[in-house]
Amino acid sequence: QKHPQIRAANAELEAAIANKKTQTQLVIDGIIKEYEMAVATVKNLEGSLKSKKAEIQTLNKKEFELKRLERNIEVNSQLYNMFLTRFKETNASQDLQELQSTVGRVVEPALVPIAPFKPNKKINVIMGLVLGFLFSTLFVFFIEFLDNTIKTSEDVEQKLGLPLLGILPKMKISKKDENPYLMFLKKPQSQFA
């Protein structure tokens, strides 16, 4: 085994075996790739087949619906023609009967009313008075509710929460007393002063 030719032969053999393994692996890898591509193609074709089957079923349903609608149109058209023919026949016979018979007759003569039926003036006047009184009362209460002015001494204490200190009397001003603010100077003994 130490002979150089044996070594060279062994090396050649090992190289050939390694080359064979490499080539075999390449062939196996190629076959696997082709197999995977074939499987993908089969799956793709199966998906296309399913979608085409669904399209065919949809088309079959639509074709069935179309035939049903066409039958309905035909039946309705026949019915329409039949009714139109009967209508024309009936109109012709009615026209003939109307010529032969009277158009109408009075069963009972109409009566003229003694008093007007509507409007009832008494009820309307009473309703107007009642509603007017009601709305005016509500309006007065509403205005009083909105009035926040102070009118009495109790209002001062209630609204301001303070005790009342004094009240100014209402002044009667004559025309000669033009300036009411100077009244306390002119009449120092008056209630206003």
Q: pLDDT per residue over 37-55, tens digit each?
A: 999 999 999 999 999 999 9
Residues 154-170, mean pLDDT to the nearest whole number: 81
CA distances from 113 to 65, 107, 118, 121, 123 (A): 65, 19, 11, 17, 20
Mean pLDDT of the chain: 84
Q: Distance between CA atoms of 24 and 31, rounded to whole angstroms?
A: 11
Residues 151-174, mean pLDDT to the nearest whole number: 79
Q: Distance between CA atoms of 39 and 178, rounded to whole angstroms?
A: 119
pLDDT of residue 76: 93
**Exposed (0-12), middle (13-18) or buried (19+): which is 7, by Cβ within 10 Å?**
exposed
Residue 180 neighbours by CB under 8 Å, 6+ apart: 171, 173
Q: What is the pLDDT of residues 70-88, one digit of tens each?
A: 999 999 999 999 998 888 8
Residues 105-111, mean pLDDT to the nearest whole number: 77
Most confident of 18-27, 110-119, 169-178: 18-27
Q: Which two tokens stand for residue 83?
A: 């009714």
Q: Which two tokens stand for residue 42?
A: 């089969």
CA distances from 132 to 62, 103, 129 (A): 72, 55, 5
- pTM over 0.75? The answer is no
Q: Distance between CA atoms of 58 and 55, rounded to whole angstroms?
A: 5
Q: What is the pLDDT of residues 123-140, one digit of tens each?
A: 999 999 999 999 999 999
